[in-house]
Structure 1
Amino acid sequence: MAPAPLDRHVTVVERCEVSPSPARAAGQPCALRLTFFDLAFWDFPPVQRLFFYDHHSTDSLLDVPGFLRQELPLFKQSLAAALHRFYPLAGRLAPELPADAPEVVCSDGDSVRLTIAVAAGSDDFQDLAGDHPRDTARLRPLLPTLPKHAVFAVQVTVFPRAGICIGTTLHHAVADGSSYVHFVKTWAAIHRGKKVVDLAPPLFDRGVVRDDGGLREAFVRDHRALAAAGDGRMHDWDLSRRPPGAVVLATFRFTDELLGRLGKRVEPETSARRCSPYALACGAAWAGIVHARGGNGSGAAHRFGFVTVAGSPKMGIYAAADLGAPWGRPRKVEIVSVERTGALALAENLDGGGGIEVGVALPRGEMDAFRAFFCDLVATAAFRDRD
Structure 2
Amino acid sequence: MAQTGTIKVLDSSHVSPPPSSVPTTSLPLTHFDLPWFPCNIERLFFYKFSHPTLHFMETTLPMLKCSLSLTLQHFFPYAANIMCPQPPGKPYIHYIDGDFVTFTVAESAADFNHVKANYPRDIKLLRPFVPQLPPARVAEDGIRVCPITAFQVTVFPNSGICIGSTYWHVVGDGKSFMHFMRSWTAVCRSGGDLTCLENSLPLINKDVIKDPGGIELVRLKNYWHWVSFSNENSGPTHAIAEDKVRATFVLGRAHAERLKHLVTGQCRDGVESEQLHISTFVVTSAFVWVCLIKSKDSATNNLSRDDDDKFYFLLFPFDCRNRLEFPVPPTYFGNCLRPGVVDVTKSELIGENGILLASKVIGNKIKEMERSGLRGAEHWISTLVERMKSRRLTAVAGSPKFHVYDTDFGWGRPCKVELTHIDYDGAISLAECKDEPGGIEVGLALNKNQMDEFITIFEQSLKLL
TM-score (norm 2): 0.72
Give the match for residue 43 of structure 2: 49
Counting only pairs closer than 5 Å after superposition, residues 223-242 of structure 1 correspond to structure 2 as 223-225=223-225, 238-239=237-238, 241-242=239-240
| Residue-by-residue CA offset, 1:288-307 (whole Å, 9 max, x unaligned) | 21112217785365366643
Q: In the alignment, residue 193 of structure 2 is paired with which amino acid?
A: K
Aligned positions of 1:1-387 closer than 5 A: 8-26=5-23, 30-44=25-39, 46-55=40-49, 61-95=50-84, 99-121=88-110, 124-148=111-135, 149-193=146-190, 195-199=193-197, 200-225=200-225, 238-239=237-238, 241-244=239-242, 246-270=243-267, 271-273=272-274, 274=276, 275-294=278-297, 298-299=308-309, 302=312, 306-319=393-406, 321-324=407-410, 327-381=411-465
**8 Å contact 1:238–1:340 — kept in the other structure?**
no
| Structure 1 residue 227, shift from structure 2 partner | 5.9
Q: CA deviation at 1:7?
A: 5.6
One-letter amino acid of the structure 1 residue matched with residue 429 of structure 2? A
Contact kept in structure 2, 1:316 and 1:347, CA below 8 Å:
yes
Q: Which of 10-19 and 93-102 deviates more? A: 93-102
* Partner of residue 343, structure 2: none
For 2:84 and 2:447, how far apart are their aligned partners in 1? Answer: 32
8 Å CA contact retained: 1:97, 1:220: no
In 1: Cα distance, 2:25 partner to 2:204 partner: 11
**Structure-2 change in CA distance of 1:250 and 1:65 (3 Å):** same
Answer whether contact 1:11 1:118 (CA < 8 A) is retained. Answer: yes
Q: Deviations over 1:30-57 (max 9, x none)?
A: 012111111111122x1000000002xx
Shift of the alpha carbon at 1:238?
3.6
- SS of 1:40's partner is helix
CA distance in 1, matches of 2:253, 2:106: 38
SS at match of 2:147: coil
Q: In structure 2, give the amino acid aligned to 1:316.
A: H
- How big is the shift at 1:96? 5.7
**Native 8 Å contact 2:37 2:170 kept in 1:** yes
Alignment deviations for residues 339-384 of structure 1 (CA, whole Å, 9 cap, x no partner):
1222211111102421111111111111111111110111111xxx
Higher mean C-alpha displacement, 111-120 vs 190-199: 190-199
Q: Number of residue pairs matched?
A: 358
Distance 2:436 2:71 in 1: 26
Given that 2:35 and 2:222 are in contact with CA atoms closer than 8 Å, whether structure 1 keeps it comes out as no
SS at match of 2:414: coil
Identify the range of structure 1 (346-355 vs 293-302) with the bigger mean alpha-carbon deviation.
Answer: 293-302
Give the distance between the partners of 1:258 and 1:97, measured in 2 at CA: 51
SS in 2 for 1:94: strand
Higher strand fraction: Structure 1 or Structure 2? Answer: 2
Q: Which amino acid aligns with 1:118?
A: E
* Cα distance change of structure 1 residues 66 and 97 upon mapping to structure 2, 3 Å threshold: farther
Return 15-24 or 101-110, whichever deviates more.
15-24
Say whether the 8 Å CA contact 1:288–1:370 is kept in structure 2: yes
CA contact under 8 A between 1:24 and 1:87: conserved in structure 2?
no
Secondary structure of the residue aligned to 1:101 is coil
What displacement does 1:268 show?
A: 3.2
In the alignment, is the contact (CA less than 8 A) between 2:28 and 2:93 conserved in 1?
A: yes
Secondary structure at the aligned position of 2:83 is classed as: coil
Q: Distance in 2 between matches of 1:160 and 1:301?
A: 49
For residue 299 of structure 1, give the secondary structure of its aligned residue in structure 2.
coil
Asked if structure 2 preserves the Cα contact closer than 8 Å seen for 1:310 and 1:344, the reply is: yes
Shift of 1:184: 0.1
Give secondary structure in 1 for the equivalent of 2:59.
helix
In structure 2, the gaps of 5 or more residues are: 136-145, 313-389
How far the C-alpha of 1:140 sits from its partner, in A, is 0.6
106-115 vs 344-353, which moves further? 344-353
Residues 190, 227 of structure 1: alpha-carbon distance in 2 compared, 3 angstrom cutoff: closer
1:162-217 superposed Cα distances (whole Å, 9 cap, x missing partner): 01000000100001011000000110000101631331111111111011111112
How many Å separate the matches in 1 of 2:310 and 2:157? 48
Whole-Å separation in 2 of the counterparts to 1:128 and 1:371: 19
Q: What whole-Å deviation, never above 9, does each CA across 1:217-254 have from its counterpart, x for those lacking one?
A: 211112323665789xx99x743x3354x221111111
- Secondary structure of 1:156's counterpart equals strand
User: Residue 290 of structure 1 contacts residue 304 of structure 1 at CA under 8 Å; is this kept in 2?
Assistant: no
Counterpart code for 2:408? D
Percent of matched pairs sharing the same residue: 33
Contact 1:86 1:202 in 2 (8 A): yes
